[in-house]
Amino acid sequence: MADRDERTGTLSGLTEAEAREFHRIFMTSFVIFTLSAIAARVLVRSWRPWLPGPNGYGALQSGAHYAQLI
């Protein structure tokens, strides 16, 4: 079994204040990461949806080929 720290009595060795600060920083970074992932998904979906329109993805390829020729 793991030895407990005599100073705090916890397995992590953090005091109550340190644990709360770590939790606050962790939750803040988790929320920021989640919001940026959602924003990236929305931007990718607006750029290229999962289901193509009536002309399909071929229309995108011909547009890219036309842009390359210019």
Is 9 inside any structural domain? no
List per-residue pLDDT tens for the chain, 70 residues long.
455 555 556 788 889 999 999 999 999 999 999 999 999 999 988 887 776 666 666 665 655 555 555 5
Q: Is 5 a member of any domain?
A: no
pTM check: above 0.85: no
The total number of structural domains that make up the chain: 1
Chain segment 6-23, per-residue pLDDT in tens: 555 678 888 999 999 999
Is residue 1, in this structure, part of any structural domain at all?
A: no
Separation CA 24–CA 22 (nearest Å): 5
Task: Answer whether residue 27 is part of any domain.
Answer: yes
The pLDDT assigned to 68 comes to 57
**Domain that includes residue 59, residue range:** 16-69
In angstroms, what CA-CA distances link 35 with 4, 30, 44, 67, 69?
37, 9, 14, 34, 38
